[in-house]
Structure 1
């Protein structure tokens, strides 16, 4: 009887271990307070627009985030466990699990800090006021802003084809610009410290989607009325680098990320 009992305990222990280590299991692959990203912003900025991480995999690392999809085909935003692609025509649609991303940043969003910014402010003032309220600037933050916005200006960019151009050139010459007034919806974003430049977008980076999930894009400017801001401090960073020949052969140390970062913001 004791032998059977110990055998049963051993089987349960092995099963638990397999649940942890086997690839493709459906449980959460990372804890909260972790910023998980696929590839780096440096790689995206020099034209590495094809990745091999799909959204089924990304969902194991976060229910909240932003980035893009393969071939730089529009903007990506993740909110409440659903991920949306916003193409150059401004139309948002749910991303299938099989679609892949060359660059994405996600986390399991659990805000600890609520900041109420009274009155009307512009996008630059929003960033300045948030900087004044942060407990420290040495950690990344996930940020959600929900509400009614008097004015928002945002963009998306079209699908690219080889040979791929630099991100700075694509953003400058091919961006589709949209403006909405008195719109309600949600901003999803991150603030990363300066020392992460090249790994991610330095400073603030926001994508927007309307309440009805019909349109949105990368935020360029806006007006915010009585903004309610939720922040989640992230104390861990995990990066999944692409396993592609293009990434293997890329020159990632030529200074282009700094230029791309200025354009992206």
Structure 2
């Protein structure tokens, strides 16, 4: 199993380096390549960790900056996933709800997904092994990578958290009471980002992925999964832009400290 996947990875890496067309997909749309090769960020992960949950950017505005993304709802109400231009919140009942364009998010990341590399998965692999091998495909650890994984999954473990009321607790305390879902024998898609260490405190360093089923009924923040077969695609993205909240708790939160301990508790 591992050898088969590694052979695919080695081919993808080699072709990425030499520029062969077999493993590389179509280039970004030329009419808007600058905008499409940018990760658009709303607020910072360190602000969210400390309870800055008031929505500041509408989903209409977020969608103008990408067709793929992740984040959360206003007041932390559900796990956000954007896929093929459609945006959903997975709430604590485990169901996926289409979001209204006028609704807002306190924290999100979005981009237009134009994959640079695609790799087939034809034997079962768990999430830890898959993500570790994906990193061998990166030309650099100092860039952003949007990730899309489509496939058949014998097991998927996700989570969501409920909407919060003021005074907002810290995110690590909210996640201590998260709702966990175990999905079996489903098809679906995981999307998200690998963020370089240079953006620590701004976004989640390393991988941050959300999942939704093919019928768009269930999903959440991805905790674990096993992939039976499918494909994974990477979009190398060298640019990012940010919009910061101009009101609310964000203006008072202390962003000078090291919150890596809180982040580790939240991402488990």
TM-score (normalizing by structure 1): 0.86
Q: Give the equivalent residue in structure 2 for 1:207.
A: 210
Whether 2:194 is the aligned partner of 1:191: answer: yes
Deviation of 1:258 after TM superposition, in Å, equals 4.5
Work out the CA distance in 1 between the residues paired with 2:190 and 2:116: 17
Q: Give the equivalent residue in structure 1 for 2:12.
A: none
Work out the CA distance in 1 between the residues paired with 2:201 and 2:230: 30
One of 90, 106, 123 as aligned partner of 2:94: 90
Q: Give the equivalent residue in structure 1 for 2:107.
A: 103
Q: Which runs of 5+ in 2 are unaligned?
A: 1-31
Deviates further, 33-42 or 108-117: 108-117
Work out the CA distance in 1 between the residues paired with 2:211 and 2:224: 11
Deviation of 1:227 after TM superposition, in Å, equals 3.6
Q: Give the equivalent residue in structure 1 for 2:125.
A: 121
Give the greater-gyration-radius structure (CA): 1
**Contact 1:138–1:193 (CA<8 Å) still a contact in 2?**
yes
1:35-59 CA-partner distances (Å, limit 9, x unpaired): 0011010110000000221011111
Whether 2:74 is the aligned partner of 1:70: answer: yes
**Contact 1:29–1:61 (CA<8 Å) still a contact in 2?**
no
Give runs of aligned pairs for residues 5-20 of structure 1, distance below 5 A. none
**Contact 2:54–2:248 (CA<8 Å) still a contact in 1?**
no
Give runs of aligned pairs for residues 252-263 of structure 1, distance below 5 A. 252-263=255-266
Q: 1:29 and 1:141, CA in 2 relative to 1: closer, same or farther beyond 3 A?
A: closer
One of 146, 151, 156 as aligned partner of 2:155: 151
Deviation of 1:122 after TM superposition, in Å, equals 1.0
Q: Give the equivalent residue in structure 2 for 1:39.
A: 43
One of 134, 141, 156 as aligned partner of 1:137: 141
TM-score (normalizing by structure 2): 0.85
Deviation of 1:257 after TM superposition, in Å, equals 4.6
The CA RMSD over aligned residues, in Å, is: 1.6
SS at match of 1:160: coil
**Contact 1:85–1:92 (CA<8 Å) still a contact in 2?**
yes
Work out the CA distance in 2 between the residues paired with 1:258 and 1:87: 25
Work out the CA distance in 2 between the residues paired with 1:234 and 1:261: 25
Q: Which runs of 5+ in 1 are unaligned?
A: 1-27
Work out the CA distance in 2 between the residues paired with 1:160 and 1:120: 38
Q: 1:29 and 1:69, CA in 2 relative to 1: closer, same or farther beyond 3 A?
A: farther
SS at match of 1:31: helix
Deviation of 1:194 after TM superposition, in Å, equals 1.5
